[in-house]
Amino acid sequence: MSEEKEIQEQPRTRRKKLFGNRWIVKNVPYFLFLSVLAVIYIYNGHYADKTIRDINKVSKELKEMQYEFKTLKSEVMRRSKQSELAVAVASLGLKELIAPPVVLDDSTIVNGQTGN
């Protein structure tokens, strides 16, 4: 009877040792594969965060450049008005015309042809 107990106890102890040395050694490649996947997953998360930070940085720079463009454009539009130009060129001694421009007409040219 004691022999029967010994025989029955041996398989039970093998069943209890689910994670034995042989099982671990046998599954080392699988563990390495899972480790590589974990490293790739972590790297991908960091890369995504970096990309989002770069996008936000470039977006901020773009908004600042758009504001600067609009400011400069409005300044150019203001300076190109006739009244502003008259004030700007007054220091050079130029004056705004009061009389309309005179059209010069050559009497020898008739309908675009010379009278030779």
Per-residue pLDDT of 21-65, as tens digits, reads: 888 889 999 999 999 999 999 999 999 999 999 999 999 999 999
State how far the alpha carbon of 13 is from the alpha carbons of 7, 93, 95, in Å: 11, 111, 111
The residues, ordered by sequence, that sit 6+ positions from 79 with a Cβ below 8 Å of its Cβ are 85, 88
Task: Give the Cα separation of 69 and 55 in Å (integer).
Answer: 21
Task: Give the Cα separation of 105 and 113 in Å (integer).
Answer: 13
The predicted structure's pLDDT at residue 4: 56
Closest CA to 96 of 82, 78, 80: 82
* pLDDT at position 113 over 90: no
Please give the structure tokens belonging to residue 61: 């720079």
* pLDDT at position 106 over 60: yes
The predicted structure's pLDDT at residue 2: 55
Q: Give the pLDDT band (50/70/90) at residue 88.
A: confident
Cβ atoms of 114 and 108 closer than 8 Å: yes
Enter the pTM of the model.
0.52
Q: Give the pLDDT band (50/70/90) at residue 70.
A: very high
The predicted structure's pLDDT at residue 20: 80
Q: Is the model more confident about 12 or about 79?
A: 79
